[in-house]
Structure formats: C-alpha cells, structure tokens
Amino acid sequence: MPEWLLPWLLAAIAIWPLVQVERWIHRHVQGLGLLLTNNPQAAVLIYYLALLPGVVLHELSQWVLAQALRVKIKKFRIWPEKQRGGVIRLGLVEIDKNTDIVRASLVGMIPLVTGILVISLIGGSHFDTDALISSLATGDLPAIGVGFNTFMSAPDFWLWFYLIFAIANAMLPEEHDRINWWLLAGAVAAITIFLLILDLRVVLNYLLEEPFARLAKWLSFAFISALVVDLFMMGLISLSEVIFSRVLDRELEYK
C-alpha cells in the first residue's frame, strides 16, 4: 500500500462513526441539561454553551468567506433558535438561494476546513501525540499507561480537550448548507486526468506524496482525535444521565 494512501483510508473510516456519534452528542447534551434543570430553556442554554466555541468558529468562518466571495447573506446569528419540529439550531449563516453552486459549496465547506485546521493545530502544538501513538503500537500495558500519562500531562489539558470537543461537534456541514461534493470530486479527477494525459506523472506523484499526503494526515488526525474525544464524552454523558436520573428521580426518553 502506498504510504500516502493510509491516512486517506483512516479518514474515510473515521468519518461515518464521527457523524453518528456527533448526532448522539447533540441530542444527549441537550437531554442532560433538561435532566439537570427540568427546564427546556435552560437545557437549550446549557447545550449552546457546551458547544459555543465550535458554533462561533462555524458561523464566523462562513460569514467571513461569504463576505470575501461577495455572497449575499440573508441571515446571520450565533445564538440558538428553535426550528419547526422542535429542532434547535445553534447558529445560522443563510446565503442567497441564487448563489452559484461553486461559491455556495465553498461557504458550506469552510467550517469543516477551519475545524480540521484548528483541531490539527491544537493536537500538534499542545499534545504529545507521537508518544501516545508509539506507546499504543507497543501493545504493552505499562508502556501504554506511560504514554497516556505523558499525553494527559500537557499544560491546560482539559481546556484544549474541551475546545476539540466543541469544535468537532460543530464543524460538520448542516442540512441547510448547499454543498456539491461531486463538484469537488470532479475537480480532483479532472486535475488527475490532465496530468496523466500530459504524462506528468512526476508532478502527480509529488502531489500525492507531499501536499495531498499532508492534507490526508490533517484529515485523519482531526477526525480520529474528534472521534476519540467524542467517545470519551459519550461515556461521561451516559454515566451522568444514569447518576442524575437516580439522584433526581427523573427519566429521559429520546424519540
């Protein structure tokens, strides 16, 4: 297997469970708030505050890019609002429906791009991920324990952990985002075919082994980091629901 292909495969494998876990997190953070307060409005506020850094990054990145591309913005907000069917939307950048598909797709994708970059920067600058990965590769429990201890001894560990959690759960595209993924796939395919026709395999190999490989490492690192953080928080939230259900004598029922 080519070395550049593995990060792409890891990113592809991580994306589906990440989407499923993110949906669970959104429902259960709000549910836990309702369990604790027994007040729907307070539950929404807790839900919003828990993901606030990610919401701000999501909406501001769309607003900035829309302004740069001269896309007309119809609505902009970074506070929660209840939609039809009782769904809570934490923020919104609504662009003109007549915007061409290229600019609309770019505005729709930019939160994912900024989220991946920020998570990768946090992971690369604040956590010793190499030590953790090396310890996991040994398969030796004492060595793995040392690796985790080194990883969690980073300064302000829980602050950066929380920021990854908030950003990861607000960076994925939303239903109202107009993204044509086939446009992106077509552009990549067109560049590849163009280079092959001109017999520029050297350039193609360079792109695959350098910038594309680096992009794949960022993607796989961001997706896997987000998934690990979300799985940890999933367990913590589940445990909290069980404990507070018994202490407060209340039950949650998700539909």
pLDDT digits (tens, 9 = 90+) for 69-106: 999 999 898 888 877 666 788 888 999 888 888 899 88
pLDDT band at residue 165 using 50, 70 and 90 as cut-offs: very high
Residue 90's alpha-carbon distances to 26, 52, 64, 227, 237, in angstroms, are 10, 9, 18, 21, 20
At 238 the pLDDT is 93
Residue 193: other Cβ atoms inside 10 A: 10
At 206 the pLDDT is 55
Contact predicate 58/168, CB 8 Å: no
Q: How far apart are CA 133 and CA 223, in angstroms?
A: 15
> Cα 86–87–88 angle (5° rounding)?
115
pTM: 0.82
At 197 the pLDDT is 60
215 phi/psi in degrees, rounded to 5 = -60, -40
Contact predicate 54/168, CB 8 Å: yes
